[in-house]
Amino acid sequence: MSEKKQYGLLCDYKYFSGNHAAEIATKEELGLGPDQWGIKEVQVGPYKIGEGTDGEDWDWIYLPVPTELFSRAWADGGDGSHGDRPLAVQVEESGSLQYGPIEELCKKLPELGHKAVLFLL
Amino acid sequence: MAYDKQWRTELPDGTVITRSNTWSPPGSHPVGYGVKVITKNGELIRIEGDDDNPITTGRVNAMNLAMREYTYHPDRIIYPMKRDPKDRGLDKWERITWEEAIDIACNKILEMKEKYGAESIVVFGGTGREACIYYYALAFSAIGTPNCCYTQSGWSCYGPRCSVTDYILGAGYPEMDYAGYFEDRFDHDEYVLPKWIVLWGKEPLPSNGDGLFGHVVIDMMKRGSRVMSIDPRMTWLGCCDGNKTLQLRPQTDTALALGLLNVMIEEDIYDHDFVENWCYGFDELAERAAEYPVEKVADITWVPAEKIREAARLLATEKPVTWAWGLAFDQNKNGVQLGMAFLALTAFTGSIDSPGGITLGPPSALLGKWRMEQRGALSDELWAKRIGAAEWPGLSTGMATTQPDETLDTLESGQPYAIKMGWFNSSNFLTPTCSAQPKRWHDGLVKLEYNVIQDLFMTPTAMAVGDLFLPMSTWAEHDGIVITHYGRNCIFMGPMNKAVTVGECYSDIEVCIAIGNRLNPDWWPWVDENGKPDAEAFFDYQLQELGFTFNDLRERGFYQPGYTYKKHEKGLLRFDGEPGFNTVTGLVELQSTLYEVWGEDSLPYYEEPNYSQISRPQDAEKYPFMATSGARKYSSFHSEHRQVPSLRAIDPWPVVEINPEDAKAKGIATGDWVEVENMFGAGRFQALLTPTILKGIVHCTHGWWFPEQAGEEPNLYGVWKSNFNSLVPHKNIGKLGFGAPYKGVMVNIKRVDGLDG
């Protein structure tokens, strides 16, 4: 019997724009109420780290944090009732989320070559 | 899961998947997110993305994902209702049938025409909604009035940019080139990725203006494009590595544009080939631009001189450059001049109709052309009665509507004739969405003899003035066509496919057909054998010129017409087939041949906003801040979505952004309630301290009302409490009748105890 694969969520957060689509998508997909989340965005900044108005002078980051409710649905690849990937990964507007077996995502992480985070679900 | 590419699939368990494209209601501009609407047993289960859509590629925004909450919200109106006009402002509505509703509406129209003339009826239309295509037709050829009104002072949304482009370039809306025309998108062999994307007064990620899917900017950044943001606020895009921002004082954009032009001329780095062969009035523009040396422009705009020089050099030398212009061009009394200078910059950088530059469409096409043709149903005598048309030819030549400020004057004065009936086509403009001085509008509208509302929820506007309420269907509940830029630059078309039925709601086109077929059947023949509106027959008619039916479009799923670059070289822009542009001179008019006739300077110039500390030093101490407004949120489209729980949780309250130094001086902390006030009005907002806004500037969110509050008069769901448009003056507009200072009025701020009290 083969060992169950572990799945992860990769976020290319150089481009993740904080558009809330992933939040609403997971609520719809998992049937969550107003106080529960499948993915919740967190915001860091904006604050200045330089003197001017170039991008390099500022820090302003959004990260989509997958919750326990999300892990329960997707940590082992899902049970097929919601398709083969989380709705959030499809609809997120900046196209910055990837979902898959953790070994595959580990290979993709360095290929991005910039700010990224891999969540083990 | 077997889905294939058919437009509707039913799975063995009874789940139905309907491929569609979103527009409105609820609004999201004609972006046309490609979606699959999942239903079961006739109920909407959820919205998913459509991976096959070549532009949105499966992505969907938060508002459309929340459609289930919106669709089945207990407050939604899903049956026609009437109310005795003496009960306006009271929740005394009575359910009626559609037959009775159409009878009442048509009888009232005929009564008004008989008693006062057709011009006594005004159709008010909202912004960005699908209704933008239809409310002109409803006015002109269905109801038969020349008065179709978008109430924003100075018509300050989209119309000014379109009119300026029509006069200067002889074309439809210029849009940034994101390869949307091509099925193979960025891989298309003629396409060149822009080195720079200029976002001027535009934050496209949440706004998705006019058919532009804003996140294409990120798609292009991932491929190597950089963003030059010109904005009073540092945006998230502007804060991304590699991008740059010119952070300017609100409403000083025209000075900046002239300064950039001047640097390009002085340093001789503009595109000589394009300017010498295809532009009119270069010498005159150069002379005018010379009046705006960089140091002077830096003083006016607060943008450091070196940043202006750097930007001019980068944009003139690192090609191609694509340009996206935003609402800040319209919501500015000096915006017509800004539009001229902006188009000159696109010419100077060789961007016009070139790969990776800006694309041009005809002034109107397809549904957009049909919309404009509807005025043909009116006699010349009646057309001449259009409110403000004679007084504002610079506006009425480009726009088929009334002049909005003049419409309020007429409403109040009864001159040159009295308005007696209003028809509100998905426009909730007592809420701070478009009209300036909304209390004046309210007081005028409640005096009208009869008002008809088309909407989905009981809005403050509907509660205050409505007598008949026609419930509207969402985009998931009706057939329709998404056409970008309302036909002024048709980058793609997509079908909206009815997937679910709720109550007895009609679409905008179904209301038009129901009224039009009764009152003017020659122009509105599209009914079925039972006399009911037949929207599919209407869309078949609209698509005839493309050689397919509505069902063909459904099965095709998406239509991209392809694109020919450099049409001016090929004789494809002018009606006579000659090379050049479709303007009076046949060239891009850096100096306008039309403006002087209308009493306007033929060249761009800078004018200080009239309600600033510089223009009104006597008020500077009392109102030391400049307030801008209207930056978009992911959680709402203007006044829509406030009652949707998951979206309201994202942005629960109206917000004023304040620089931390200013806030400290005023004793204000994040989360405090703040009153923003000036000589015209006041509103309350929750403070957000942020370094992204300059000292001396504040920004207020728009579109606020509180559906959870008492709806009856005088509270009207709290519509006056956070109403930024109360602070915007009436008729402080440019010489052509365009542009008002929604994004730049002087104010003061003070901490208060709460939203009320």
For B257-284, the pLDDT digits (tens) are 999 999 999 999 999 999 999 999 999 9
Hey, what are B99's tokens?
């037959």
**pLDDT of B2:** 33
pLDDT band at A80 (very low <50, low <70, confident <90, very high): confident
**Rounded distance, CA A38 to CA A31, Å?**
10
Q: Are residues B223 and B338 in the same domain?
A: yes
A92 to chain B: which residues are within 8 Å by CB?
59
The CATH number of whichever domain residue B224 belongs to comes to: 3.40.228.10
Confidence band (pLDDT; 50, 70, 90) for B27?
confident
Q: What is the CATH number of the domain that holds B649?
A: 2.40.40.20
For residue B757, is pLDDT > 80?
A: no
Q: Is the pLDDT of residue B398 over 50?
A: yes
First to last CA, chain B: 57
A-chain residues near B244 (CB < 8 A):
53-55
By residue count, chain B amounts to: 757
Domain-embedded: residue B485: yes
- Residues A28 and A39 sit within 8 Å (Cβ to Cβ): no
pLDDT computed for residue B643 by the predictor: 98
For residue B48, list chain A residues with Cβ-Cβ distance below 8 A.
87, 90-91
Closest-CA residue of B relative to A28 is: B46
Give the pairing type, strands B468-471 and B450-455: parallel
CA angle B581, B582, B585 (to 5 degrees): 75
Specify burial of residue B618 (Cβ count, 10 A radius: 0-12, 13-18, 19+).
exposed
Domain final position from B52, B71, B90? B71
Q: pLDDT value at position A4? A: 78
A27/B62 Cβ within 8 A? no
Spatial CA neighbour of B419 closest among B379, B447, B381: B447
The domain total for chain B is 4
Provide the mean pLDDT of chain A. 95
Q: What angle do CA B110, B116, B121 make, to 5 degrees?
A: 65
Is the CB of B634 inside 8 Å of chain A's CB atoms?
yes
- Chain A CB contacts of B222 under 8 Å are 15, 95
Report d(CA B649, CA A35) in Å as an integer: 9
| pLDDT digit string, tens, across residues B717-734 | 999 999 999 999 999 999
Contact B77, B469 (CB under 8 A): yes
CATH number, domain at B489?
3.40.50.740
| B406 inside domain | yes
The beta-carbon neighbor of A15 closest among B218, B635, B650 is: B218
CB B625 within 8 Å of CB B661: no
Same domain, B477 and B334: no
User: What is the distance between the alpha carbons of residues B443 and B752, in angstroms, rounded to a whole number?
Assistant: 28
- State the smallest CA–CA distance between residue B502 and chain A in angstroms: 19
Q: Are residues B216 and B301 in the same domain?
A: yes
CB count within 10 Å of CB B371 equals 21
Same domain? For B210 and B334 the reply is yes
Q: Tell me how far apart the alpha carbons of residues B288 and B297 are, in angstroms, rounded to a whole number.
A: 13
Assigned domain for B216 exists = yes
- The answer to whether residue B1 scores a pLDDT higher than 70 is no
Residues B151 and B188 in one domain: no
Residue with the larger pLDDT of the pair B2 and B109: B109
Residue B151 has pLDDT above 80, yes or no: yes
3 state DSSP class of B239: coil
Average pLDDT, chain B: 96
The three-state secondary structure class of B93 is coil
What percent helix, strand, coil does chain A show, rounded to 5? 30, 30, 40
pLDDT digits (tens, 9 = 90+) for B564-595: 999 999 999 999 999 999 999 999 999 999 99
* Ramachandran angles phi, psi of B551, nearest 5°: -65, -35
Q: Is the pLDDT of residue B485 over 80?
A: yes
B431, B545: one domain: yes
Return the CA Rg of chain A. 16
Structure tokens of B69? Answer: 């909450």
Closest-CA residue to B429 (of B417, B442, B419, B420):
B442
The beta-carbon neighbor of A58 closest among B47, B68, B239 is B239
Determine, yes or no, domain membership for B562.
Answer: no
Whats the size of chain A, residue-wise?
121
Q: Quickly count: other Cβ atoms within 10 Å of residue B387's Cβ.
A: 28
Whole-number pLDDT of residue B653:
98
CA B578 – CA B267 distance, rounded (Å): 33
From the candidates B218, B239, B301, which should be mutated to test the interface with A, based on the most A CB atoms within 10 A? B239
Q: Name the closest residue on chain A to residue B691, using Cα atoms.
A: A47
Share of chain B above pLDDT 90, in %: 96
Q: Which domain holds residue B746?
A: 617-752
Which pair of tokens denotes residue B138?
């409803």
Could you tell me if B355 and B370 lie in one domain? Answer: no
Separation of alpha carbons A64 and A97, rounded Å: 9
Name the residue among B171, B200, B534 with its Cα closest to residue B362.
B171
Phi/psi for B36 (5° steps) reads -115, 125
Q: DSSP of A16-58, one letter per residue? A: ----SHHHHHHHHHHT--TT--SEEEEEEEEEESSSSSBGGGE
Q: Which chain A residues are Cβ-neighbours of B234 within 8 angstroms?
A: 46, 53, 58
Task: Mark which of B71, B99, B118 sits at the end of a domain.
Answer: B71
| DSSP bridge partners of B469 | B81, B453
**CA B403, CA B444: separation in Å to the nearest integer?**
16
pLDDT band at A81 (very low <50, low <70, confident <90, very high): confident
Residues 6+ away with beta carbon under 8 Å from B101: B80, B82, B468, B470
Residue A42: CB atoms within 10 Å: 10
Say if residue B492 is in the same domain as residue B416: yes
Closest CA to B458 of B444, B467, B469: B469
Domain boundary among the residues B71, B99, B124 is at B71
User: In this predicted model, what pLDDT tens digit does every residue of B643-678 receive, in sequence order?
Assistant: 999 999 999 999 999 999 999 999 999 999 999 999
B476: helix, strand or coil: helix
B247 contact residues in A (CB cutoff 8 A): 53
Establish if B205 touches chain A: CB-CB under 8 angstroms. yes
In three-state secondary structure terms, B15 is strand
Instruction: Work out whether strand B745-752 and strand B673-677 pair parallel, antiparallel, or are unpaired.
Output: antiparallel
Among the partner residues A23, A27, A94, nearest to B218 by beta-carbon distance: A94
The mean-pLDDT minimum among B139-148, B233-242, B358-367, B464-473 falls in: B358-367
> Do B723 and B586 fall into the same domain?
no
Nearest to A46 among B59, B219, B690 (CB): B690
Token couple for B518: 């009764």
| B453, HSE (Cβ side, Cα atoms, 13 Å) | 29
Q: Are B48 and A91 in contact (CB < 8 Å)?
A: yes
CA atoms within 13 Å, Cβ hemisphere of B467: 18
For residue B133, give the amino acid letter: I
Pure H helices in B448-506:
460-465
Yes or no, beta carbons of B234 and A83 under 8 Å apart: no
The span from the CA of A112 to the CA of B687, in Å, is 38
Residue pair B423/B143 in contact by the 8 Å Cβ criterion: yes
User: What is the DSSP secondary structure assignment for residue B144, as one 8-state letter?
Assistant: -
* Same-domain pairing of B255 and B207: yes
Residue B605 lies in a domain: no
| Inside any domain, residue B604 | no
| A24 to B49: CB separation less than 8 angstroms, yes or no | no
A95:B57 CB<8 A: yes
How far apart (Å, rounded) are the C-alpha atoms in residues B535 and B510? 6
Give the model's confidence band at A2: pLDDT under 50 very low, under 70 low, under 90 confident, else very high. Answer: low
Q: Which domains does chain A have, with CATH numbers?
A: 7-120 (3.30.70.20)
The structure tokens 């023949």 sit at B525
Which pLDDT belongs to residue B128?
82
Determine contact, residues B745/B437, Cβ cutoff 8 Å. no
Question: Could you report the predicted ipTM of this complex, rounded to two decimals?
Answer: 0.97
* Cβ–Cβ < 8 Å for B458, B73: no
> Are B104 and B127 found together in one domain?
yes
Residue B633, in any domain of the structure: yes
CA atoms within 13 A on the CB side of B287: 7
Structure tokens at B688: 């957000």
Measured between alpha carbons, how far is B378 from B360 in angstroms, rounded to an integer? Answer: 30
- List, in sequence order, every beta strand (DSSP E) within B111-161: 121-125, 148-149
Q: Which residues of B touch A47 (CB under 8 A)?
A: 691
Contact between chains at B239 and A15 (C-beta distance less than 8 A): no
**Residue B395: enclosing H or E segment and its boundaries?**
helix B393-396
Q: By CB neighbour count within 10 A (0-12 exposed, 13-18 middle, 19+ buried), where does B653 fall?
A: middle
How far apart CA B477 and CA B288 sit, in angstroms, is: 54
For an interface test with A, which of B65, B228, B308, B699 has the most A Cβ atoms less than 10 Å from its Cβ?
B65
Q: Above pLDDT 70, what percent of chain B?
A: 99
Whether B121 and B375 have beta carbons less than 8 Å apart is answered as: no
Res. B696 pLDDT band, cuts 50 70 90:
very high
Q: Does residue A31 come out as left (phi exceeding 0), alpha (psi in the -120 to 50 range) or beta?
A: left
**B29 vs A: CB within 8 A:** no
CATH of the domain at B30: 3.30.200.210
Give yes or no: residues B742 and B643 share one domain. yes
Is the CB of B62 less than 8 angstroms away from the CB of A54? no
Name the CA radius of gyration of chain B, rounded. 25
CA distance B204 to B196: 15
CB B464 within 8 A of CB B446: yes
Give B65's contacts in chain A (Cβ within 8 Å). Answer: 21, 24-25, 28, 91
Query: Rounded CA gap, B689 and A50, in Å?
Result: 19
Q: What is the dihedral of CA B5, B6, B11, B15, to 10 degrees?
A: 100
- On whether residue B603 sits in a domain, the answer given is no
Please state, in angstroms and rounded to a whole number, the distance separating the CA atoms of residues B595 and A70.
Answer: 60
